[in-house]
Amino acid sequence: VVRPRPVDLAGRAGVDATPLTRPVLRASMALLHVIDDGRETGETVRMRGDRLVIGRHEGDVVVPHDLLMSPRHAAIERMPDGQWQLVDLGSGGGTFVRVTQARLRDGGEVVIGSTRLVLREVDLSEAWLVERSPRDVAAGLPPDGGRRHECHAPVTTIGRTGHGCTIQLDDRFVSPIHAELVRSARGWKIRNAGVNGVWVRIGDPVRLGEPSQFQCGEQRFVFESLR
């Protein structure tokens, strides 16, 4: 008589590569994390539909006290292929995505720490970065009225005041060496080197990766697809 050998279910469960059950026909859901101030985690909103709107007065996620957020600021939408995209809804203050590096054109705007910088291109060899404070943005002041920084070297470093960078920002949320603005024959590119990242203002809808970080007003979000 051959008796079956005992099966250690607990042991086998640890090496079983079978994926957890998920819908086959229904479109997958997503998570939006509304990040708490000064932290890396926050409230999680489960997206069970094809569209989620963020705003100061209207939408599915409302931040009523954020003066830089428009009444209907941005939306996350499911695309026909099942992917997701971030859309700015004509906001006054803009919607920004966190990048490792990105190309900048004339008028391109980035957030470094709590400071906004607008690129004003003279030509392929020279440009200016113009500061915009949060108060200037909230007041609707034009982007060319702030402090101007000349950029003409192949690499312009950006960092906190007192640490020897080409452009020094009086902003405690800026790292000692936070970013580099690189000049090439193809134009201008910004690269992140700081803890709090570099955030670039979007124009057209942007496809969201896995995961994606973005900012509306002064509120930061992390998007996570469950595909």
Compute the mean pLDDT over every residue in the chain, rounded to the nearest whole number: 90
Closest CA to 156 of 125, 111, 200, 114: 125
64-89 residue pLDDT tens: 999 999 999 999 999 998 899 999 99
Quote the pLDDT of residue 97.
Answer: 98
Report, as an integer, the average pLDDT of 102-113: 94
Burial pattern 150-162, b for ≥16 Cβ within 10 A else e, equals ebeeeebbbbbee
Domains and CATH numbers, the chain: 30-94+202-225 (2.60.200.20), 97-200 (2.60.200)
Q: Where are the beta strands (DSSP E) in the chain?
A: 30-35, 42-47, 51-55, 61-62, 74-78, 84-88, 95-99, 101-104, 109-112, 115-123, 126-132, 148-151, 155-160, 167-169, 179-184, 187-192, 198-201, 206-207, 212-216, 219-225
Encoded tokens for 60: 């599915």
The answer on pLDDT for 145 being more than 70 is yes
Q: How confident is the model at residue 1 (pLDDT cuts 50, 70, 90)?
A: low
| Whole-number Å distance between alpha carbons of 94 and 216 | 7
Cβ atoms within 10 Å, residue 79 = 12
pTM for the full predicted model: 0.87
Q: How confident is the model at residue 201 (pLDDT cuts 50, 70, 90)?
A: very high
Residue 49 structure tokens: 């539909």
CA distance 174 to 213: 18
- Neighbouring-strand partners of residue 3: none
Contact at 8 Å (CB) between 136 and 117?
Answer: no
